[in-house]
Amino acid sequence: MRPIRVWRALREQGVLGINRRNSAYTLRWNPRRFYPNVDDKLRTKDLCRRAGIPTPELLAVAHHHFELRELGPQLARLHDFVLKPAHGAMGKGILVVRGRDGDRFITTGGRPLSLGDLLYHAAGIISGLYALGGQPDFAMVEERLIVHPEMAAIATDGVPDIRVVVYRGVPAMAMTRLPTRLSGGRANIHQGAVAAGIDLGSGRTTSAIYQRRRIREHPDSGEPLLGREIPGFKDLLSIAVRAADETGLGYVGADLVVDERRGPVLLEMNARPGLMVQLANRSGLLPRLRAIDLCAQDGRSVDERLDLGIRIAQAAGAPESSA
């Protein structure tokens, strides 16, 4: 590796580095006071619900240990659901119940749990076991999303999600993260999930990487990964943009899942989205962010901004055809 040559290549293709992301984008466009809007999932959900943005439906919440007594009967009435911490990060403390077997709750891993087990887990969440800072946390129970079959076909035992980077209300770039056997069903690229770039205009995947290598087929199933259409992608973009508007953050990553029945649903927002999206798309963010800076004005409608994002994406980093 010749550093100077790489440096020039990155500059020419406008790859965004960490230093510039921090100083020119997150520090500049994400005021600290808006962070709670994305760090607390209940708050994000609340903001979204008021704005009519689809999120997994909230079925129950327990803020304090004494509320667990009411949580018991509520859970007993449910068939499938997700129990998770409001302040969790990196998927910690999330329990997905996929169905019932009499009194037992069956998790996606196939483990049968009793109601007592679930309440114990909820107690752990409230105690701050999964909140990174150890601050008081809430246990929330929400609707279980069921992955759209077209997405499920290109993922192994897990929920693939779609990350959209939204800058000043304009979608800039998107990718989907597909769990693999190596990643243990988690949509985490560092742990071995596949990342596939998405063309904003067509909603189709354009290129994919797995373990730093470019690939064309899913490493587990051999399913082709390029040119796959994300169902309801146009809606998905508009949800991401509207959610970004609600949070007040100027440079965010929106994580969405495409549900079988409901279509695109917002899972969470991220105030410091990573830079991996550039590798997945084989395209730098900077040309797009700069173009958005040139064109962005307040008061544009969501549709106008979607069009702007698509036009900029197509002009800036027209991804190479994947023939």
Partner 1 sequence: MNRLAAATGLVLVVLGLGVFAWKVFGYGMPVVAQDPEGLWRIELSITVRGSGGRGSVRAPLPSAAPGQEIYDESSVSDRLVFAIRTEGSNRIAVWRGQIGDLHDLSYGYRVRLSPSKYALPAEIEAPSRELLRSFGRASGSFPSGAPQIAEVLDKLALPPAEDLPGRLRSIYAFLAHEIAVLEGGSDDALIALANRGGSERGKAALLVSLLRAAGIPARPVLGLELGPGSPRETVWVEAWAGDWLPLSPTGAFFASLPANLLVLRTGALAGVESTGTQALSYRYQSLREHLRADELATLMVPPNPIFTAISLYQLPVPTQSALRTLLLVPLGALILALFRNVIGFQTYGTFMPVLVAFALRQSHLGMGLSMVAGVIGVGVMGRLVLDRLRLLLVPRLSILLCVVVLGVTAFAIIGKGFENRDFFAGVLFPIVILTMLCERFSIAIAEEGMRNALARMGYSLLVIAAVYPVMRNARAEHLMFSFPELIFAVMGCLVWIGGYTGYRLMDLIRFRSFANPNEGSA
Ligand X SMILES: Nc1ncnc2c1ncn2[C@@H]1O[C@H](COP(=O)(O)OP(=O)(O)O)[C@@H](O)[C@H]1O
| Contact set with ligand X (CB under 6 A) | 56, 82, 88-92, 94, 96, 142-145, 158-159, 161, 187, 255, 267-268
| CA contacts within 13 A on the Cβ side of 185 | 9
C-beta of 49 vs 181, nearer to partner 1: 181
Return the exposure string of 55-82: e unless at least 16 CB atoms fall within 10 Å of the residue's CB, then b: bbeebbbbeeeeebeebeeebeebeebb
At its nearest, how many Å lie between partner 1 and the CB of residue 186? 10
Please say whether the beta carbons of 176 and 230 come within 8 A.
yes
Q: Interface with partner 1 includes 24 (CB under 8 A)?
A: yes
CA 30 to chain centroid, in Å, comes to 18
At its nearest, how many Å lie between ligand X and the CB of residue 174? 16
Among partner 1, ligand X, none, what binds residue 132 when CB lies within 5 to 8 Å by partner kind? partner 1
C-beta of 161 vs 246, nearer to ligand X: 161
Residues 283-302 that bind partner 1 (CB under 8 A): 284
Q: Interface with partner 1 includes 231 (CB under 8 A)?
A: no
Q: Which among 5-13, 55-63, 105-113, 226-234 is the span making contact with partner 1, rule CB under 8 A?
A: 5-13
Among ligand X, partner 1, none, what binds residue 20 when CB lies within 5 to 8 Å by partner kind? partner 1
Residues 113-132 that bind partner 1 (CB under 8 A): 124, 127-129, 132
Among ligand X, partner 1, none, what binds residue 161 when CB lies within 5 to 8 Å by partner kind? ligand X
Helix 68-76 vs helix 115-126: crossing angle, to nearest 10: 140
Among partner 1, ligand X, none, what binds residue 88 when CB lies within 5 to 8 Å by partner kind? ligand X
Return the exposure string of 219-236: e unless at least 16 CB atoms fall within 10 Å of the residue's CB, then b: bbeeeebbebebbbbeeb
C-beta of 6 vs 76, nearer to partner 1: 6
At its nearest, how many Å lie between ligand X and the CB of residue 281? 20
Which residue from 243, 229, 257, 266 is spatially nearest to 171, judged by alpha carbons? 243
| Interacting residue with partner 1 among 33, 50, 77, 212 (CB under 8 A) | 212
Burial of 213 by CB count in 10 Å (0-12 exposed, 13-18 middle, 19+ buried)? exposed
Q: List 265's β-bridge partners, or say none.
A: 257
Q: Count residues binding partner 1 (CB under 8 A).
A: 36
Residue 5 identity (one-letter amino acid)? R
As a whole number of angstroms, the distance between CA 307 and CA 139 comes to: 39
Q: Closest-CB residue for ligand X?
A: 159
| Cβ-proximal residues to 213 (8 Å cutoff; 6+ apart), any chain | none
Residue 321 identity (one-letter amino acid)? S
Among partner 1, ligand X, none, what binds residue 68 when CB lies within 5 to 8 Å by partner kind? none
At its nearest, how many Å lie between ligand X and the CB of residue 223? 19
At its nearest, how many Å lie between ligand X and the CB of residue 55? 9
| Cβ-proximal residues to 303 (8 Å cutoff; 6+ apart), any chain | 238
Tally DSSP H helices, then E strands, for the chain.
Answer: 12, 13
At its nearest, how many Å lie between ligand X and the CB of residue 41? 7
C-beta of 81 vs 130, nearer to partner 1: 130
Chain positions contacting partner 1, by CB under 8 A: 1, 3, 5-7, 9-10, 13, 15, 17-20, 23-24, 89-90, 92, 124, 127-129, 132, 134, 190-191, 212-215, 275, 278-279, 282, 284, 320
